[in-house]
Amino acid sequence: MSEITIDLLTEPAGVARARAMLQRAEWAALSFTTFDKASVDRIVAAVAQVGASRAREFAEKAVAETGFGVVEHKVLKNIAMSTGIVETYRDHDYVTPRIDPTAKIVEVPRPAGVVLALTPSTNPVATVLFNTILALMTRSVVVVSPHPMAKRVCAEAARALAEAAVAAGAPDGVIQVVDEPSVPLINTLMQDERTSVILATGGTPVVRSAYSSGNPALGVGPGNVPVLVDATADLVEAARLIVESKSFDHGILCTNESVLIVEESAHANLLRHMTRAGAHLLEADERDRLREVLFPGGHFDTGFVGKSAAEIASAADIRVAPNTKILVAPFDYVVPEEPLAHEKLCPVLGLVRVPTASRGIDAAKAVLRLTGKGHSAAIHSNDANTIMAYGAALPVLRISVNVGNSLGSSGVATNLAPSMTIGTGFYGRSSLGENLQPKHLVQYTRLAYNADTAVPFANFSGLNPWQASTGSVPPYPVASNLVASGSVAQPVSGSLAQHYEPMTNEAAALREEVRRIVIEELRRVVRN
């Protein structure tokens, strides 16, 4: 009795809130899993449309709240991760059973269920949009847990998506968001058995915490992208693409180029073209000042994440032209002691010169030995042998060829799956080796017939176990003492306390008195 009492009195704040959210999510998931394809498509389209229509608003609010990035670039990402995702998977079906008469197998899709989406401060709304739409496409429900630095804009975006989903016929609670993140609350969400899978997009500590939660998790490792330019490359185009990619959203994407490796014979021309495109090549003394400012004590100062080249140059007392987009910092050796060889989520690009493309491949491997295994790399070349050798030698799972890596490896500027979560596979200690996509949130029950051809296979054509949603899904049930007499619960998406009519003054007073008596009695038991 004493142990139970102590738990009741000392349970960390936020734990009860987390459990209430998961209970509501579980209720919504049980309902949503019975919806048919047309109903799911209607809900997904409504949610995506809200995300796209408010893309600029959310981009502006994200930059204002976090201080990171470029509004125009965040608008592009918000659209790409809303209506862009819907368009990409328009012909995909994660709801209808699949029938293979030849193999005599029927595959019945089963959604993940309750998805906990941990979102970063660097790409906040785009990740909320992406994770939410992927979950809905597979009839899963999502609980969004934003980074504290972006909690306001993420909460507003998630609520807008939730309202659109419910209005389109989704169950109340299909999208929820953590308004005030706390360690006890997030730990409870991650460790509770009602959480089906965790999508961990963020830094290494977040991903490791997700993997150690005891629940299935899909996370990623850090990036540190090497980009090789050999003598066969179109140097004008390579220069433009590298500057645009490194400066995109002020270098905040984990897919941005980190170290530029240039073949000696192409070095001078490439740098000339990059300067014209908006790069500032640092002199040795400028580079040294930048290194000290950017890596005090040898560790990257996260205060420079997503800041402009001009802001960073000013902090290092470096004068640059007004149109400068990126800072290029040359150094001699790719070694752990060189801070500029490590990941930099800002428009600062390391530069290494090599005598041959083959030595360039060795340098790229050295970059990835520091960090970034499994993530991504880029190459600008017109030599198929070099491109193939680069792909075979580097321990990464995606390489952008003749395209900026920021949008190349994330699937926006290539035909890879468009994604805000870049799986690093076995190299990066991740369970996910591809760009995260809807198929990773659905599994299948397989009805497998006897392989003997003499055993007949039934005709399943036209059979569908799911039902069309009429748009009249009941609201989430709530205890009567939480609702004033005669009031009606309204299906919306934030905390339970915000969604229902407050108690009458009499009911509130009675509840508080009961609570006081119970706590006093529990304290008496503990003292005894």
How far is C-alpha 427 from the chain's CA centre?
19
Residue with tokens 């100062």: 301
| Segment 203-220 mean pLDDT | 84
| pLDDT band per the 50, 70, 90 thresholds, residue 211 | confident
| Segment 271-292 mean pLDDT | 98
Judge whether residue 527 has pLDDT over 90.
no
pLDDT of residue 13: 66
pLDDT of residue 499: 41
pLDDT of residue 477: 72
pLDDT of residue 491: 38
Question: CA geometry: angle at 121 spanning 350 and 80, to 5°?
Answer: 85
pLDDT of residue 471: 66
- Cα gap 154→125, rounded to integer Å: 6
Q: pLDDT > 90: what percent of the chain? A: 79
Judge whether residue 6 has pLDDT over 60.
no
Dihedral angle computed from the Cα positions of residues 53, 59, 60 and 63, in that order, rounded to the nearest 10 degrees = 170
Q: What b/e string do you get for 222-248 counting C-beta neighbours within 10 Å, with b at 16 or more?
A: bbbbbbbbbbbbebeebbbbbbbbbbb
Judge whether residue 409 has pLDDT over 70.
yes
pLDDT of residue 129: 98
DSSP state of 476: P
| Segment 153-166 mean pLDDT | 97
| Segment 195-207 mean pLDDT | 86
| Segment 419-440 mean pLDDT | 93
Judge whether residue 9 has pLDDT over 80.
no
DSSP 256-311: SEEEEEEEHHHHHHHHHHHHHHTEEEPPHHHHHHHHHHHSGGGS--GGGTT--HHH
Distances (CA, A) of 192 to 31, 210, 231, 273: 20, 12, 55, 54
- Give the pTM: 0.87
Q: What is the 3-state secondary structure (H, E, C) of 122-190?
A: CCHHHHHHHHHHHHHHCCCEEEEECCHHHHHHHHHHHHHHHHHHHHCCCCCCCEEECCCCCHHHHHHHH
Cβ atoms of residues 398 and 435 within 8 Å: yes
Report phi then psi at 272, rounded to 5: -60, -45
- Cα gap 17→11, rounded to integer Å: 12
| Segment 226-250 mean pLDDT | 98
Count CB-CB contacts under 10 A for residue 389.
15
| Segment 347-363 mean pLDDT | 98
Radius of gyration of the chain from Cα atoms?
Answer: 26
Could you give the residue numbers annotated as active site?
Answer: 254
**Greater confidence, 159 or 470?**
159
**Greater confidence, 519 or 208?**
208
Judge whether residue 227 has pLDDT over 60.
yes
Distances (CA, A) of 245 to 35, 138, 304, 345: 41, 32, 18, 12
- Cα gap 35→477, rounded to integer Å: 20
Q: Which helix (H) or strand (E) holds 349?
A: strand 348-354
Cβ atoms of residues 439 and 448 within 8 Å: no
| Segment 217-227 mean pLDDT | 91
pLDDT of residue 431: 86
| 334 bridge partner residues | none
Task: State the chain's mean pLDDT as an integer.
Answer: 89
| pLDDT band per the 50, 70, 90 thresholds, residue 518 | low
| pLDDT band per the 50, 70, 90 thresholds, residue 526 | low
pLDDT of residue 511: 56
pLDDT tens digits for range 32-49 = 999 999 999 999 999 999
| pLDDT band per the 50, 70, 90 thresholds, residue 384 | very high
In the chain, what are the helix, strand and coil shares in percent, each to the nearest 5?
Answer: 45, 15, 40
pLDDT of residue 274: 98
Count CB-CB contacts under 10 A for residue 434.
17
- Cα gap 37→23, rounded to integer Å: 25
pLDDT tens digits for range 62-106 = 999 999 999 999 999 999 999 999 999 999 999 999 999 999 999
